Amino acid sequence: MELQLALDLVNIPEGIALVKEVEPFIDIVEIGTPIVINEGLHAVKAMKEAFPNLKVLADLKIMDAGGYEIMKASEAGADIITVLGASNDLTIKGCVDEAKKQGRKVLVDMINVKDIATRAKELDDLGVDYICVHTGYDGQAAGQNPFEDLATIKGVVKNAKTAVAGGIKLATMPEVIKANPDLVIVGGGITSQDDKAAAASQIRDLIAQA
């Protein structure tokens, strides 16, 4: 089980400073969609240059022109790039084909996908690397959580790894571990804490014990 730190509401210098605090405890650093919107792919390049030993995920949430956007994110140094599960199959295939050419990975974000089981099977057949259950900010505010959908996906995929995101923090880690995804994505559960290193270390310890 890998740990991904999601960065959303920071600029490039703030993001680099934050990752320095928690680098020993994480496997992947995510350049979140808000950062990509505010800073562009320069943020991906800067993070990869600052932390060459960490994998960097570019949360582009691709919806069209999959091959081209994967190519540009790869050029910036992204190891993993996201595409929306609601995208056209041709877009997903374009992402997968280009990612393989570039030696990168594709993570599919299932946010707002209605028929989780059917779509997860289709995505698995298309050759994506990760399928991520994602309860967005608005859904979290309404009390939703991703664990039921994660169990559904784990029941149907044969090749893709599973990931989970959305409101995960130290208090919910026992539930995460029980669900057993391949990748755990934590944002505010680390970034909003006064002692970010301690929060990341505690979450890492729980993953290691599992």
Q: What is the pLDDT of residues 117-172, one digit of tens each?
A: 999 999 999 999 999 998 766 655 556 667 888 989 999 999 999 999 988 999 99
Lookup: tokens for 170: 């130290």
Count CB neighbours of 100 within 10 A: 14
Q: How confident is the model at residue 173 (pLDDT cuts 50, 70, 90)?
A: very high
Whether the CB-CB separation of 58 and 41 falls below 8 Å is answered with yes
Task: Please classify residue 159 by burial: count the beta carbons closer than 10 Å to its beta carbon, then call 0-12 exposed, 13-18 middle and 19+ buried.
Answer: exposed
Phi, psi of 167 (to 5 degrees): 75, 15
Q: What is the pLDDT of residues 19-36, one digit of tens each?
A: 999 999 999 999 999 999
Q: How far apart are CA 14 and CA 18, in angstroms?
A: 6
Q: How far apart are CA 15 and CA 29, in angstroms?
A: 10
Alpha helices, DSSP H, located in the chain:
12-22, 33-39, 42-50, 66-75, 89-102, 116-126, 137-141, 147-156, 173-179, 188-191, 196-209
What's residue 141's pLDDT?
A: 58
Instruction: Give me the residue spans of the domains in the chain.
Output: 2-209
Q: What is the pLDDT of residues 36-61, one digit of tens each?
A: 999 999 999 999 999 999 999 999 99
pLDDT higher than 70, residue 101 = yes
pTM of this structure: 0.95
Superfamily of domain 2-209: Aldolase class I (3.20.20.70)
